[in-house]
Structures are given as C-alpha cells and as structure tokens.
A and B are shown apart, each in its own frame.
Chain A
C-alpha cells in the first residue's frame, strides 16, 4: 500500500475495501497494460470504465474521426468533438475521468504491417472492431504472440462476448474458421444497432478484463455470452478449441499473418 498516494487511496477506496481487489489488486490494475481496438461503440464504455478502474496504461488504436452519427452510441465523444480524431477525443475523456492513466494513441489503420509493433506493449487486447478482416487479423496475431483477446461484437439488438486466451481455450477461428463472403452478412452500418447495446457489451468486456488482471471469478474463456436486448435475455454457449483449427490447432497451417485485403477476396494482382 505504501506506493499509493493519498489521493489514489481515496480515489480507489471502493475497490481497496473489496477483498477480491484490495490494495494488491488495485496495484495490479495500475500496473496493467490494455489495448483497445477502436474508440467507437464498444471501445467507449470499455475505455471509460477501464480508465475509472485505474488500468494504468491504456492504448487506443483508431484512425477515424468523430461523426455526428457516432454520437448515438459512442459516448467517449461529444458534439464539440465532431471532426476530431476519435483517438484524441478518447484521450481527453479518459484524462477527464482519471488523469492517472497513461494513454498511448495509435492513429493508424490496423494491418499486418503494424499489428505486432502495436500489440507487443500490451497484456490484454479488447477487440471492438467493426469488420471481419480485422477480427481475423487480430485473432491470428493474438494467437501467434500469445495475447489474450477480450472479444465483443454487436448487431441490431444482439451482442456477443467471449475471451480468446491462447492455449487455455478456443480462438475465433475455432468458432468460425473462415470469414463470411462479402455481402452475406450485413454490417451495422447497413443493418443498424441499438445505441445502448454497445454500452452493455463494451462494459461486459471491461468486466472481463478486470477479472483477468485480478485472477478472480470465472472468466468467459471457452464460453460465449449472448445478450438479446429485445428478449432481455443473457445466455451462455460452450466453445471448444478445435484441434483442426488452422491457427491454434494441433497442426496449424497459418503461421504468419494473412494480408487482409487479399483475405477479403479483393485481389490486388
């Protein structure tokens, strides 16, 4: 406890009195390094709660700028941020909640060229990205570098949360070996999404991150949590590691990252 400042003891007092966290746990949180993929719908509540929690080092990757139509769900940003970089706007919000947090920004599009450089400084990845090629890129890079990925996705009124922890459980490719062909699965942009939904799913991702860091409870490894807002229902399905998985199976065939433009079926040659 001696390394806490007076202010920190007061700020985190509701954590410190929880036996499951305590001074030791709060110290772990302050020393942890978490990377948020996207400062959008899922990244907003995740970033704000992780900052408030006292995750000492938060990385944010987002190359996009804030648009009016984002404000229906992306609570990191406000009207005055329209036209600004989402990463910069996210940093301001995080700092206003908790100036203790070291924030590192990556205003770039995640690709096979930069992903290893960005992931290497983090213990846990929070995946809230919005397209299949990036999901597969992130999955493969996390498996190949042994990083834990807290995965969240949303569609209309449905949300999914799980943790892909290399060796301890399945990965995204165990679930869905290949991405859907273009056009068969509509995106949120085409299909819409309830504004509050990412609030719930991104917050659940933040809870799972904290559980992983503290080593408490039963993390969603090997379990897919499904939420449907219309039915007000949560369900869990069991996920298993596929021994034939092309990236984390017993005889993997994917040993390096697949360039996601080719992956998309948009041939460059």
Chain B
C-alpha cells in the first residue's frame, strides 16, 4: 500500500532532495521502517536514542496529529498524506 510522505526541508538531504516520497505499511511504524530501508539514516533524525519520536517533530496523517490518533500505531491507507513537521524558529536573523 503506497502512502505519500512529505519530507521537511531539513531532512531532504537524506531523501535525495525529494520533498515527497512513497512508502509502504499499515501504520506509521511500518511506514517509517520502510522509509529507513529506502533512505538509511532517516530514522535517527525522527526518533531519539530511546526509540521514541523526537519531541520537536510531529507527524500528521492528512490533517490530524498522530498523537491524537493512535500514535505510531495509527493506521494509514492508500491515498493518505503523511507529513513530518519539525519545529522551525526562523524569523528575524
């Protein structure tokens, strides 16, 4: 099952500069495992040392934050749009 995953600019170096990639899986966990196979190194940028999603990165399925669904167990289906949204601070500098 192919799901579109939007990659934020700070991580696009790892996805050969692609802002959108396709991944397979039933839920977010499987999707990210598949992404790691395709783009090694991505996992370490999304997960911390203890294996939890980093707290300055949020993951959305369509418009909804997975923290308010079933976290990494949240199911995805064909045609869903998954976004990885990191905190960005830029403004003045």
Per a CB cutoff under 8 Å, which of A154, A178, A185, A226 touches B91? A154
Q: Shortest beta-carbon distance, A164 to chain B, in Å?
A: 13
Which A residues are in CB contact (< 8 Å) with B9? 155-158, 191
Binds A, one of B31-39, B70-78, B81-89: B81-89
Query: Which parts of B61-75 form the interface with A (CB within 8 Å)?
Result: 63-65, 67-68
- Distance in angstroms between the alpha carbons of A228 and B26 in the assembled complex: 28
Proximity bits, A187-216, B CB within 8 Å = 1, else 0: 111010100001000000000000000000
Are B93's CB and A237's CB within 8 A? Answer: no
**A175-B58, A231-B19, A242-B67 given as contacts; is B87 within 8 A of A154 (CB)?**
no
Q: Shortest beta-carbon distance, B5 to chain A, in Å?
A: 14
Per a CB cutoff under 8 Å, which of A176, A180, A188, A240 touches B90? A188
Which A residues are in CB contact (< 8 Å) with B86? 180, 185
Query: Which parts of A218-269 form the interface with B (CB within 8 Å)?
Result: 224, 226, 228, 230-231, 235-240, 242
Proximity bits, B1-15, A CB within 8 Å = 1, else 0: 000000011100000
Closest to A236 in B: B63
Number of A positions contacting B (CB below 8 A): 50
Are B88's CB and A130's CB within 8 A? Answer: no
- Distance in angstroms between the alpha carbons of A131 and B79 in the assembled complex: 36
- Distance in angstroms between the alpha carbons of A154 and B54 in the assembled complex: 20
- Distance in angstroms between the alpha carbons of A242 and B9 in the assembled complex: 26
Per a CB cutoff under 8 Å, which of B10, B60, B85 touches A185? B10
Q: Shortest beta-carbon distance, B2 to chain A, in Å?
A: 20
Per a CB cutoff under 8 Å, which of B63, B87, B92 touches A238? B63
**Does A20 interact with chain B (Cβ within 8 Å)?**
no
Q: Shortest beta-carbon distance, B78 to chain A, in Å?
A: 20
Q: Shortest beta-carbon distance, A94 to chain B, in Å?
A: 17
**Does A186 interact with chain B (Cβ within 8 Å)?**
yes
**Does B55 interact with chain A (Cβ within 8 Å)?**
yes
Closest to A43 in B: B92
Query: Which parts of A116-163 form the interface with B (CB within 8 Å)?
Result: 127-132, 135, 152-158, 160
Are B19's CB and A154's CB within 8 A? Answer: no
Closest to B93 in A: A130
**A132-B89, A188-B93, A193-B90 given as contacts; is B10 within 8 A of A176 (CB)?**
no
- Distance in angstroms between the alpha carbons of A128 and B8 in the assembled complex: 20
Which A residues are in CB contact (< 8 Å) with B65? 237-240
Are A40's CB and B91's CB within 8 A? Answer: yes
Closest to A198 in B: B91
Are A130's CB and B89's CB within 8 A? Answer: yes
- Distance in angstroms between the alpha carbons of A43 and B90 in the assembled complex: 12
Are B55's CB and A178's CB within 8 A? Answer: yes
Per a CB cutoff under 8 Å, which of B54, B58, B83, B91 touches A129? B91
Further contacts, 12 of them, CB under 8 A, given A43-B92, A176-B58? A40-B91, A64-B92, A129-B91, A153-B91, A154-B88, A158-B88, A176-B55, A180-B56, A180-B87, A237-B63, A240-B65, A240-B68
Pairs across A and B, CB under 8 Å, 23 listed? A41-B91, A41-B92, A64-B92, A130-B89, A132-B89, A153-B90, A154-B91, A155-B10, A155-B90, A158-B88, A160-B85, A180-B54, A184-B56, A185-B56, A185-B87, A185-B88, A187-B90, A188-B91, A235-B83, A236-B63, A237-B64, A238-B64, A240-B68
